[in-house]
Homo-oligomer: A and B are copies of this chain.
Amino acid sequence: MTIDRRTLIAGLTGPALAASTLIAGEPAAAQQAGHPAPANPSLDEQKDMHDRHMDAMNKVLGQGLWGQEEIAMLLYPKFTALDLVAPHYFFACLFGAKVHLVTTETDLSPVPSDLGLAIQPTITMADAPANLDVLFVPGGTEGTLSVMQRADTMDWIRDRGSRAKHVTSVCTGSMILGRAGLLKGRRATSHWAVRPVLSDFGAIPVDARVVHDGNVLTGAGVTAGMDFAITLVELLRGKPYAQALMLQAEYAPAPPMLGGTAATTPADVTGMMGEMFAPLQTQFRALAPG
């Protein structure tokens, strides 16, 4: 197995190794700050550290340490950035995996999300790998309704999804999968506000944060992307790997107040939000295949 140093630096051991590398190249700045610079590790010392870390990881994480997954994450205008960026963190830390940010547009210009923040894609739908280990689709509101009405995008999702080992989504991304016909007979979840609409697409709505049925893995609204991604990492690489990434991401959530579900939110807030989201159910329902 070839160890790709660039992947390594960007991945699981990145912090320690990258830091050594950086200081090796820039000891002067640290010395200027009035502190003794740490010992400047030689290339041999860096290689030793690298080998030690790889040995330690192999021992703890086992055979699943390296993989070659092809992972495609779809960027379409007005997608919800957090739906995608949270899973991306975990996927990009899988040694050896290739994570493609696939634009629905014809060039690689940054794709604007629903809240303005634009992310640069790495590949077009046409150039994306034909066979995927993971197809991932984020959610949104008007952008999601819009992309569900684009034949080119739906054809691409249907094609890649028909062969992907894992067909996945976060939030209303499951509406897109449903529209592509990929959820028929599958238990699935979505954002709470539109979850019941899954049945219009032939799926079985489940009131859960992460739902796994066959090759379909769906997450609930927006922040469920973390719980979703950790579940998928465990499926792909095993539990120790997933726990290593949870620790790296310090994922021990502690919401500062009760909330996040209709049941745990004060009734007046839940009522207001429910009323505002209600029309969205109708709009998604209108796009279910006949």
A binding-site residues for B, Cβ under 8 Å: 9-10, 12-23, 26, 29-30, 33-38, 49, 53, 56-57, 59-61, 80-82, 85-86, 88-89, 92-93, 99, 101, 110, 114-120, 122, 141-142, 145-146, 149, 171, 191-193, 209-210, 220-224, 226-227, 230-231, 234, 239-240, 242-244, 246-257, 259-262, 264-266, 268-273, 275-280, 282-283, 285-290
Count identical subunits in the complex.
2
Q: Which residue of B lies closest to A220 (CB)?
A: B250
Q: Most chain-B Cβ atoms within 10 A of its Cβ — which of A21, A227, A279? A: A279
Q: Provided the pairs A19-B280, A110-B110, A141-B15 are in contact, do residues A259 and B269 lie with their beta carbons within 8 angstroms?
A: no
Q: Which residue of B lies closest to A261 (CB)?
A: B252
Contact between chains at A114 and B14 (CB < 8 Å): yes
Q: Which residue of B lies closest to A264 (CB)?
A: B252
Contact between chains at A251 and B223 (CB < 8 Å): yes
A-B contact pairs, 20 of them (CB 8 A): A10-B114, A15-B276, A15-B277, A19-B142, A35-B285, A38-B282, A38-B286, A57-B272, A85-B85, A93-B115, A209-B250, A210-B254, A210-B256, A221-B250, A222-B248, A242-B257, A243-B259, A243-B265, A248-B273, A252-B261
